[in-house]
């Protein structure tokens, strides 16, 4: 019975009077609409740790590039890894990869594979971990 029950009508939240407000109303644009249903990026280069940086400041006026592409372009003003971009945009990683693929296709960004400089740090970390375990 609770399934068919009406949501309680909420009033007094600002000037809006409706059953579903803001979060409850859900996102204005569904995710599939951002990518036109695409789930695979044009390139497999967008590893979680891959760093993306913008090569242009302005988004060209092209029909295939919308407001969300522009937002991502703003985020990568400074080089950022893909995982951080997704977190900032509040979008699933799969969707972000598709959108970044669009930007890459138009030559608006550069992608760098995960930094090799990080590897020694991880070796050191692993050694520390091993020695710590041995000490137990």
Partner 1 sequence: MASGRSIRFKICVLLAAPLVTLIALWGFAAHVTTDESVDLLTVGTLHDSITGPAAALTAALSKEHLLTAEYLGTHSERGRVVLAGQRAEVDRARTRLRDLSAGALASLTPAMRTRFDDLTKKADRLDTVRAAADNGRIGQVALAQEFGQVPDAARRLAASMAVNGDATLVQESRGVTALTAAEDLLGRERALAAGALVANRRLSRAELRVFGRLAANRAFLVEQGVADLEPDLRALFAPLLAGPVQARFGAAEERLLAGDPRGLVSHAEWRTAADRAGAVYRDGLAKAATALTARARPTPTGTFARAGLAGAVGLVGIVVSLVVALRVGRGLAHELAALRAAAQDLAGVRLPRVVERLSRGEAVDVAAETPALEPLGNTREVHDVAIALDRARHTAVEAAVGQATLRETVGQAFSNLARRSQSLVQRQLRMLDDMQRRAEDPEALDALFRLDHLTTRMRRHAEGLIILSGGSPGRAWRRPVLAEDTLRAAVAEVEDYTRVRIYPMPGVTVAGGAVADLVHLFAELIENAAVFSPPNTEVSVRGERAGDDFTVQVEDRGLGLTPEEVAEINRKLETRPEFDLSDTDRLGLVVVGRLAAKHGLRVEFGVSPFGGTTVTVVLPHGLIEADPDAGPEDEQELVGAPGGRPEEGAGPG
Q: Toward partner 1, which CB reaches closer, 21 or 130?
A: 21
Binding mask 104-133 for partner 1 (x = CB under 8 A): ------------------------------
Residue of the chain from 11, 15, 123, 136 that contacts partner 1 (CB under 8 A): 15
**Beta-strand pair 51-54/80-81:** antiparallel
Residues 18-37 that bind partner 1 (CB under 8 A): 18-34, 36-37
Element of type H or E holding 11: strand 10-13
For residue 102, give the nearest of 53, 126, 50, 66 by alpha carbon.
Answer: 66
Show contacts with partner 1 in window 38-77 (CB under 8 A). Answer: 39-40, 61-68, 70-71, 74-75
SS3 for 81?
Answer: strand
**Candidates 84-92, 102-110, 111-119, 121-129; binding stretch for partner 1 (CB under 8 A):** 84-92
- Which residue, chain included where needed, has tokens 């090799």? 116
CA distances from 91 to 22, 31, 47, 79, 103 (A): 17, 8, 16, 18, 16
Residues in contact with partner 1 by CB under 8 A are 3-7, 13-34, 36-37, 39-40, 61-68, 70-71, 74-75, 87-95
């Amino acid at each position: 019975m609770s399934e068919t029950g009406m949501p309680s009508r909420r009033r007094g939240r600002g000037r809006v009077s409706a059953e579903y407000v803001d979060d409850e109303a859900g996102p204005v644009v569904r995710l599939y609409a951002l990518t036109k249903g695409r789930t695979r990026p044009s390139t497999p280069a967008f590893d979680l740790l891959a760093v993306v940086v913008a090569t242009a400041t302005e988004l060209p006026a092209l029909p295939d590039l919308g407001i969300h592409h522009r937002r991502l372009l703003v985020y990568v003003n400074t080089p950022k890894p893909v995982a951080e971009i997704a977190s900032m945009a509040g979008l699933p990683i799969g969707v972000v990869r598709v959108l970044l693929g669009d930007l890459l296709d138009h030559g608006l960004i550069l992608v760098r594979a995960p930094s090799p400089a990080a590897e020694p740090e991880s070796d050191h970390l692993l050694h520390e971990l091993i020695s710590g375990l041995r000490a137990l």
